[in-house]
Amino acid sequence: MTVIRKLHCDNPDCPHERLKIMSDWVRNELPDSASGFTVSDIDFVFSNYKTRKIMILEVKTHNSACKNWQRNMWKNMNRWLKKGVDGGWTYLGFHLLVFQGIDFSLPIYYDYKQIDEAQLKKILSMED
């Protein structure tokens, strides 16, 4: 039986990770980044089965930037998914949402463009 050591994420990007057993197991048991192995969770996948649209969203808080390795991973995934979506579905891409703080009280950025909550609601509702 594997013993899982409890790790604490001191990075403000991942306070939600502190209690996740699977995240701790991944950090403890799988190869580290020195081996070339990288891991990133995906915050949201939005899908509408009636309109056959799907998109992926990563959320950062406290105006945090993406690490280069993570951005490169997402660019590759985005390119691969665009090529492979079929069955009448429309892939709307892999997007980044950055909160200056932790909520809508400060400016927010969607793919590096400042938007407001109403605009975000429309985008994430996948309206045309």
80-83: Cβ within 8 A, 24+ apart: 81/56
- Give 8: exposed, middle or buried? Use CB within 10 Å, 0-12, 13-18, 19+: exposed
Dist. CA 77–CA 101, nearest whole Å: 27
Q: Is 30 domain-assigned? A: no
Looking at the structure of the chain, the number of domains it has is 1
Question: Whole domain around residue 65: which residue ranges?
Answer: 41-124
Q: Is residue 4 part of a domain?
A: no
Residue with the bigger pLDDT between 69 and 5: it is 69
Structure tokens at 88: 């009448």
User: Does residue 79 lie in a domain region?
Assistant: yes
Model's pTM, two decimal places? Answer: 0.71
Q: How far is CA 47 from CA 53, 67, 89, 117, 126, in A?
A: 6, 26, 10, 19, 8
pLDDT reading at 4 higher than 50: no
> Could you give the CA distance from residue 9 to residue 14 in angstroms, rounded to a whole number?
6
pLDDT digits (tens, 9 = 90+) for 11-37: 555 555 455 787 888 888 888 888 888
- Does any domain span residue 53? yes
Q: How high does pLDDT run on average in the chain?
A: 83
* 10 inside domain: no
Whether residue 52 is contained in a domain is answered as: yes
**Interval 71-102: pLDDT, tens:** 999 989 899 888 888 888 889 999 999 999 88
Residue 78 maps to a domain: yes
Please report, rounded to a whole number, the percentage of residues in the chain having pLDDT higher than 70: 84
pLDDT of 84: 87
Assess if residue 81 is contained within a domain.
yes
Kindly report the CATH number assigned to the domain that includes residue 89. 3.40.1350
